[in-house]
Every structure is written in C-alpha cells, then in structure tokens.
Structure 1
C-alpha cells in the first residue's frame, strides 16, 4: 500500500508540474487532466500531501515491525519520487527517466515485499552499537532477488520509454529532453525491442541458478503475446493507440509469473 501511495504521489506531482510549466494553453486544456477536468490546483496539492504523509506513516510502521534499514531505503525512494518531476531539473526532463523508474519499482518493491515477509532471518539489517553502526546482509539472497526482479525492471523502464517515444514532439515543445531526444526515435524503438526480449532472456538466470523452480518456465509462452505487441509498436508509435502495448507486455509477463508463484506457495502449504 505504501508503494502504491508513493506511485500515486509521483504521478500527481508529474501531472501538476506539467500543467504549471506547460508552454501552451492547448496542452493544459486538452492533454493535461487538471485542465481538461477543471480540477483545482489546491485540491491536487492537498491530495499530494495526504498521500505522501500516509506513505511515511505506513513506512514507519514497517520500519518498527522489521528493521531500521528500511528507513533510509524509504527516504531514498521518496526523494527519487519527488525529484522525478519536481525541482530545478526534474529527472523526467532528462535522459534518466527509465533508469530511475524501472529499478526502484521493479527491484525495490519486490525486495521490500520479500524483506518484510522473509521469516527465517533478515536479508538486510542496520543496527547501532554505541557510536558505531553495523550493516549486515545476505548478499546471495539479495543477488537472487535482483535477477528475479530484472524482467520487471526492464519492462517498467520500457513503459516509460514507450511513453517518451510517443510524446517526443510534445516533450520537446515543453522542454522535456528525454533519452529519445538524445539517441533518436529509431534507436529508441530498437531499445524498446531489446528491453522487451531481454526481460525473457535474463529471466533464465534465476531459473537455471535454482533460485526459481522450473515451473516458472511456463512464463515463456507469453513471449509470443509480447512479440505481437512489439510489432504493433514498431509499426506505429501513437499515445492513444499503441502506448498500451508496453503495458500489456508487462502485465502478461507479471500476471502469469504471479499466478505461478501462487501455485508454488499453495502447493508448499498443502504438501
């Protein structure tokens, strides 16, 4: 829930900043939901503060129930969320949006979920002893989590990339110079393809290393669906029509993976 609130907060800040810094009234009235739905800016700001405060309250509860190491992680993620679209040079207006969206959401959420629910021992801990502190961790478990989460990291980054490809002209008009502006549209589409197929290639690592059971290979039939979405996006890059292909590829992979995890956990409980 805390992760959802932080994501909503980031999105709300993004929409508000885009509205306030828009270079044209057409963008404000037609493309931004605040202007299109005539929403009060004060109301949006109020919602941002409420969601951000709730995020910290839930985060502090998790810190209290687990370990202090979760506090700096939560603070770092909140700083990324705020600076993603707010500040003198927001992350989203630089060629860093993909880098600062995929890893925190893909790896971060999965890591925290396992960290909170891992019952045998803490996979990462921070403890204070007088004037010194001790940071300890299970590097092999963290490495396994990293490779397990890599498909989500790549596919989430791909959603941001697809959005930036579709919005290239509009972004330039509003002084947003994303990675698409720097490497060009054609190379950005190639990167989109590599990230999609790369997520399937890298998912073999945790399976062959024994970190995931072989049943997880059943994720791979979704590659045919993802291939179809890639072809649609390669043919046409329109926000209203083909941006959704990146989301569909992500959902196809993640939902099948989630169902398989549920089956594995249910089987272990019954056996």
Structure 2
C-alpha cells in the first residue's frame, strides 16, 4: 500500500539531502525562461552603446533566483494544498519524494528573494529607483502565482501573467538598465518571448489537465479542452515565427533574426507530442520540447540581434 501524504503534513519518506535533490528543487530545466530574456534585452541594448557588464550579471542572477524561488513556492503551496504526492508527474519532488521539510523549502525561497532584493538595490542604484517598484511587482506575482487564497496558476490568466512578467518584462528591464529608456523596438521584439513563455505554462496545463480539473482549478487548458488548447499552442507558435518575419519585413529587426526558424522542429515536436499522447507521463516530452523551443528561439533571436549590430 502506498503511503498517504496528508494535507500539510511531513512527507512519510526518509530525507535525502544530496546535491542532486537541492538542484532538482529549483527545477533547472525552467531557468532558461529567466536568463534568455536577460540575454535578449541586453542584445537589444547593444545598438544604443556600450553594455554595463556588472548590471548584466546582477540582472541575470536576480532573474534566475526569482525564477528558482517561484518554483519553490509552487512546490510548497501545491504540497500544502494536498495537490502533490510522490507519484505526481512534473514536480521537483523535494518535499513528497525526497523528504525535505516544507519549512526548509519556503525559507530557502524567501532567502533567494532576499538575495535578489540586494541585487535589485545595486541595479537601481546604477540605473533608476523606479525599477524598485517594477521589481517588487514581479516578485509579488512570483509569490502569488501559486500562493495566496486565489493562486494565479489556478485561473485562466496564468499564461498571460507568466508571459508578461517572465517574458516581456525581463527583456524590457534588462534593456532599460543599460539604456535608461524603453523604445518601440524593444517592446516589439519582446512580444514573441511573452508568447513562448506563456506557452510553457499552457503546455504544463495541457499535460496536467485531468488532475487540475479534479482539484478544482480553472486553467485555460481546462476551459478550452485539450483539443482546442493544442490548437492554441500550435497557433501561438505560428504567431511567434510570423511576428519575427514581420519585424524583418518592416525593418524593425535585422535579417539575421531569421535564425529563429532553426527552432521550428522543436515547436513541431511539442505540438505533435500533445496530439499523439494522452497520459501525463507520455506528454512530458512535449512539455520539455515547448520549453526548449522558448530557449532555442530566444537564444537565436539574441544571436541574430548581436550579429545584426556588428554587420549593420
């Protein structure tokens, strides 16, 4: 008989506190959603002048810490609500499988937030203190994504919040701290990142659709149903690539950003993975391919902008 994890109780497993457990807790495969936008925003700033390397590094580390903390908040609150168990697919599992105390997870998450705040002070001191408001708002959204009485992740708006704050806003902040401004080009180039980061959450919700429905969530995937949610996923993938083509045609971005086309096979793999499979464990590779699409697309977009800067 499998052990029963009671709501908010200590996991009935022997604690395993090796490095791999702590590394897995931050869900490293998701961290590209934080550092790729920083790279992209910095690449966009190159055309306006020199790059402040210290601000770039501080922004990079702060973004990764906030993403890792958000993942730990997710693990903690899903456990406290009784939504995770040792057989759950797609979770870090440090609480329900590895026996790490829930209090340790939440304290470490707040510790990461504390370090990010210190880095934020350095960033604001060398750019603008108005960023303190924006940064605190991003951190608040990270906490309430799965925390609070009505977690954002349990509503149809999770993809929008994730895409806007973890995609577009990180790019614009990274651009602003180097240039002290935000222009139309940086906004237009950040739109595909907004879309693709949102799709990572949509893919997660497609995989977890049945379990989320049983637990009373109202995610976009649940409201649309699996078939329509996959159509949306494919449609937004297409939109992201067409958007880049439009930026090239209208002279907003250099021709080199067409390199993003090399990420198309991953987008196709993700879409077909959801079409052909129905069990959560079977759809896990499709979700991974969605995250890889965002990573490869964003990295190639940044490379294209870098090349365009030197050959314009």
1:37/1:239 CA distance change after superposition, 3 Å = farther
TM-score of the aligned structures, taking structure 1 as reference length: 0.84
Per-residue deviation, 1:224: 4.2
Deviations 1:17-72 (A, max 9, x none): 0011115xxx4222251111111112112201110111111111111110122111
Matched with 1:134 is none
Q: Does 1:154 align with 2:215?
A: no
Corresponding residue to 2:173 among 83, 91, 112: 112
Q: Tell me if structure 2 keeps the 8 A contact 1:96–1:178.
A: yes
Whole-Å separation in 1 of the counterparts to 2:222 and 2:199: 16
**Secondary structure at the counterpart of residue 74 of structure 1:** helix
Q: Does 1:68 align with 2:129?
A: yes
Q: Does 1:123 align with 2:181?
A: yes
Q: What value does the CA root-mean-square deviation take over the aligned residues?
A: 1.9
Whole-Å separation in 2 of the counterparts to 1:241 and 1:228: 9
Matched with 1:245 is 289
Superposition misfits of 4+ residues, deviation over 6 angstroms: none
Corresponding residue to 1:201 among 235, 242, 264: 242
Runs of 5+ in structure 2 lacking a partner?
Answer: 1-60
Per-residue deviation, 1:144: 1.7
Q: How many residues align?
A: 245
Corresponding residue to 1:3 among 63, 66, 70: 63
Q: Does 1:85 align with 2:166?
A: no
Whole-Å separation in 2 of the counterparts to 1:98 and 1:117: 28
Matched with 1:181 is 222
**Secondary structure at the counterpart of residue 161 of structure 2:** coil
Whole-Å separation in 1 of the counterparts to 2:115 and 2:263: 36
Corresponding residue to 1:15 among 71, 75, 78: 75
Runs of 5+ in structure 1 lacking a partner?
Answer: 125-140
Per-residue deviation, 1:91: 0.3
Q: Answer 1 or 2: which has greater strand percent.
A: 1
Q: Tell me if structure 2 keeps the 8 A contact 1:155–1:196.
A: yes
Q: Does 1:101 align with 2:153?
A: no
Whole-Å separation in 1 of the counterparts to 2:162 and 2:198: 6
Q: Does 1:52 align with 2:109?
A: no
Per-residue deviation, 1:109: 1.1
Matched with 2:86 is 29
Whole-Å separation in 2 of the counterparts to 1:232 and 1:183: 18
Whole-Å separation in 2 of the counterparts to 1:75 and 1:241: 34
Corresponding residue to 2:252 among 193, 204, 211: 211
Which has the higher mean CA deviation after the structures are superposed, 95-104 or 232-241? Answer: 232-241
